[in-house]
Structure 1
């Protein structure tokens, strides 16, 4: 069941909607984080029809989400150029995810131009990239097509870089589709630990374009671990389109249980 199908089956509630998270979108005992965040963004976008583009999202993964969830949003502030909206996803009366979204229009007076988010130098081009094995991976993995983005190496490094695209984006807002995709990688430190239980705690993503575009739905995702100590891990994240243009950057904190 894809996100467009989940949204089509949702029912309206006060300040949002109720939806059911199917087993095919689970990650262990909770919903895949990108799906929960995308649901929150949909609720936030419905606050107003004339919102400027999404520019930043701060997401807190508070507790497990499964089965029927309630997704609500409220306006925090609307200024002349920027709007802040908070959203929550809850189940059985408990909050599972809280998020703050910042929507911001262009500032035409600004003359600063800085684009220093280069794609990996040893990137494997999409046409030459090998697909990941179909078997294995979390329950939500079949919702994506995945290919290795870096050459195979015998040296374990705290980085994962894959080409990915959603199998079904029919009718989805491009920003919702990108947020749904953006959390699809395992933690960057996973090559050092091997398979281990993990739990995302916080996620910050900044959008570098008002309208994410790419070819045939493919984006390059990278998670680069920069810290791990006593079960806490931090990583930098980035997303590029097929033309090598950065469309998003982020940071994430992850709990490691192994």
Structure 2
């Protein structure tokens, strides 16, 4: 099922909406984090269609997001270059997701630095074997193609890196695709869990480094790495690169680790 079908009920007008195709993007009791973030982002875009490109976001995953939701969006501040927008998803009358989006127009660069390329470049996705075939949540099996982005039989500590792309041409503009795909990998803490148990994303903050990205074949190298894990939580760094090794997304996430 295309992501367009999920986003179709979002008109940009505040009020209730029914995501009739939410089942295709569910992760347990809730909509997959990237999909629920995209719902909130699309609400902001459609409520205010003349916004400049997205530069950064802070997202709180508060409660499960299902089929029946209520949407809202408001401009918090609009300056000469930067517009800040808040959008929310409510379920059963309570906040389920809250998001703060920072949109900014381009200016002449007074500082130049490219993001770092990943260590141990894995080579193009076509040279790496398929990963997660028949494994993982149904939303990944139905909507993504995943290939290894690191040697399969080596110890990579608390880092998970995979090539990923949408399995169908969803006709998403570049930033929407990054929002949808940026949270697709499981947390790196899964590699160091002493006992298997559930995990849950609590928040997600990210900077968009290239809002115009067009990666060959739709492939992006996604990496989740636990920077610190203790007391039932993991601090994760989330990064994405295009097929040429140019970093396009830089993020941070807090994950609850149960079990």
Q: Same fold, TM exceeding 0.5?
A: yes
Give 1:1-258 correspondences, 5 Å limit.
1-8=1-8, 10=9, 12=11, 14-15=13-14, 18-20=17-19, 22-108=22-108, 110-142=109-141, 143-155=143-155, 157-193=157-193, 195-258=196-259
Q: In 2, are the aligned partners of 1:123 and 1:150 still within 8 Å (CA)?
A: yes
CA shift at 1:22, angstroms?
A: 2.4
Distance in 2 between residues matched to 1:70 and 1:177, nearest whole Å: 23
Comparing 94-103 with 110-119, greater Cα deviation is found at: 110-119
SS at match of 1:211: coil
Unaligned stretches of 5+ in structure 1? none
1:199–1:254 contact (8 Å) kept in structure 2: yes
TM-score (norm 1): 0.93
Task: Please give the TM-score of this superposition, normalised by the length of structure 2.
Answer: 0.93
Q: Mind listing any 5+ residue stretches in structure 2 that lack a counterpart?
A: none
C-alpha displacement at 1:7, in angstroms? 2.1
1:4/1:168 contact within 8 Å kept: no
CA distance in 1, matches of 2:160, 2:49: 37
Post-superposition offset of 1:154: 4.1
SS in 1 for 2:38: helix
Total equivalences in the alignment: 256
Cα distance per residue 1:36-70 (max 9 Å; x no partner): 00011101112323211100010000011112222
Measured in 2, the distance between the counterparts of 1:101 and 1:221 equals: 22
Q: Secondary structure at the match of 1:103?
A: strand
Q: Cα 1:5–1:91, aligned 2, differ >3 Å: closer, same or farther?
A: same
